[in-house]
Structure 1
Amino acid sequence: MKNILNYGDGPKAIYEVLKQQIIAGELKAGEELKIMPLAKEMDISIVPLREAIRMLAAESLVELRPRRSPIIAKMNERELIEMNQIRGALEPIVLADAVPRHTEATIAACQTLIEQDERSTDLWEKVELNRQFHLSLLEPSIMKRSLAIIGDQYDGIARITQFRVVDHGGLIGKHNFEHEAILDAVRVANVEKAVVLMTRHIDHATVRARHELSQAVEAGPAAGGSAAQATKG
């Protein structure tokens, strides 16, 4: 992990830096966070670092262990299913509210994200573009609390996605045709069709990810970090 500059001196700023490194896979599941070496590397004091780690533990990103160094928490099938259940419950509702509020400009922005995804060969960029597309599709909604909850799910999904997409590149472009279909329904203000397609899209992502995580369990520890594979949607 490279030294971090301009992160400020508060626990929240340190938390944000570490959170992004966990999401991006720079800090791997099961990796120990040794407090003293990490504080020295980041050029910070131990007190705000410990507080930042407690904040990460509260979000199940870090596992605290008595008399031992905390570790980066592992993700499992149950957590993935829960995240997609939240998405499956909320995204169609928020999308239904967003569809009649879309404009030519917001639809064009969504289309641009699809096109950027299709052109991109950077796997982590594709993960980010997937997130941006979903949130941009929902952004016109006035249901801001629900939008915030949905946005939170993508941090966890990004962690899982990196094993399959970044380590293996196995799903490049496979979700784009579903994104195009949803956007086409939004473009003609067909709320019912957009909601059905979004629900199906999230269901497909859940099925694919469960399959990948099940394979990872069967592969066992010998397969290494890349065994914990998953998908994006």
Structure 2
Amino acid sequence: MKHMLNYGDGPKAIYEILKRQIIAGELEPGNELKIMPLAKEMDISIVPLREAIRMLAAEKLVELRPRRSPIIARLDVRDLVEMNQIRGALEPIILADAIPRHTDETLKECEKVLKRTTKVKDPWEMVELNKDFHLAILGPTRLKRSLEIVSDQYDGIARLTQFRVITHEEQLGKLHDEHAGIFEAAKRGDVDAAVSEMTHHIDQATTRAANELNSEDQSDDTSGEHAS
């Protein structure tokens, strides 16, 4: 897990490295982050490392514990469902407001992101493009506070879960097809169709992610039974 950081790199750089390791599964849920050994391994001081860990805790990727080492947060299906309930409630409303305000330029930006998803094989990049597409298609809305709330749901544990779902290769095509349906309806100015496509897309995302987490839980339980 050795990473070369330039002198003067602050907590943000350390945070980005640790976040990617967590999302990629290199740091597994339940594992402790022992501050002193980790600082030595990364060749950094403790102060920016602690700050980076606090930043990860704010995204619920790390769980802070009094007088004990922090741990990588465990994924909770209830958290995931709640996050997608927020998306499911707000994104269709935001999209309905955004569609009449799209211009040729904003639609071209959405299409640009969509085309990039057809060429991407890296799950990490696909997770980033997923967020980019949603924020682009919702971007022209006047409902900026709601948009900010939605944007927050694409970070932290949600991003980790998306990475694990997208890692399954067949999901890459499904994600693109669902985005394409939303885009085509938005491009036609068909609010009802776009909202219907978005609602279906979020429902499907919730189901896929919940299945992924439940299958991991069952795998963990089975491993525990075998170990005992």
TM-score range, shorter chain: 0.7 to 0.9
Question: Does residue 1:116 correspond to 2:99, yes or no?
Answer: no
| Compared CA separation, residues 20 and 152, structure 1 to 2 (3 A) | farther
SS in 2 for 1:174: helix
Q: Is the 8 A contact 2:19 2:56 kept in 1?
A: yes
Superposed CA deviations along residues 100-153 of structure 1, whole A, max 9, x for unmatched, are: 111112212212222221222223222222221111111112322222221221
Q: Aligned runs of 1:53-132 on 2, under 5 Å?
A: 53-132=53-132
Contact 1:36 1:46 in 2 (8 A): yes
Residue 173 of structure 1: aligned partner: 173
| Alignment check: 8 A CA contact 1:25 1:162 kept | no
Indicate the residue corresponding to 2:162 in structure 1. 161
Q: Report the residue type matching 1:204 in the other structure.
A: Q
Residue 207, structure 1, aligned to residue 207, structure 2: yes
2: CA distance between counterparts of 1:148 and 1:49? 28
Partner Cα distance (1:18, 1:120) in 2: 23
5+ residue gaps, structure 2, are none
Separation in structure 2 between the aligned mates of residue 24 and residue 106 of structure 1, nearest angstrom = 32
Q: 1:7–1:13: 8 Å Cα contact kept in structure 2?
A: no
Q: Secondary structure at the match of 1:69?
A: strand
Do 1:8 and 1:14's aligned partners in 2 also have CA atoms closer than 8 Å?
no
Shift of 1:62: 0.9
Residue type of the partner of 1:89? Answer: A
Amino acid at match of 1:157: A
2:162 maps to a residue whose letter is T
User: Quick check: 1:164–1:170 contact (8 Å CA) kept in 2?
Assistant: no
Q: Structure 1 length as normaliser, TM-score?
A: 0.83
Which segment drifts farther, 72-81 or 20-29? Answer: 20-29
> In 1, are the aligned partners of 2:22 and 2:28 still within 8 Å (CA)?
yes
SS in 1 for 2:171: coil
- The structure-2 alpha-carbon separation of the partners of 1:41 and 1:119, relative to structure 1 and needing over 3 Å to count, comes to same
Following the alignment from structure 2 to structure 1, what is the Cα–Cα distance between the partners of residues 7 and 191? 43
8 Å CA contact 2:165, 2:208 repeated in 1? no
In the alignment, what sits opposite 1:36?
A: 36
Comparing 11-20 with 78-87, greater Cα deviation is found at: 11-20
Equivalent-residue separation in structure 1 for 2:7 and 2:139 (angstroms): 28
| Equivalent residue letter for 2:62 | V
Query: Runs of 5+ in structure 1 lacking a partner?
Result: 225-233
User: 1:228: which partner in 2?
Assistant: none
Q: How does 1:182-193 map to 2 (within 5 A)?
A: 182-193=182-193
Figure out how many residues of one structure are paired with residues of the other and give that number. 223
Counterpart code for 1:162: F
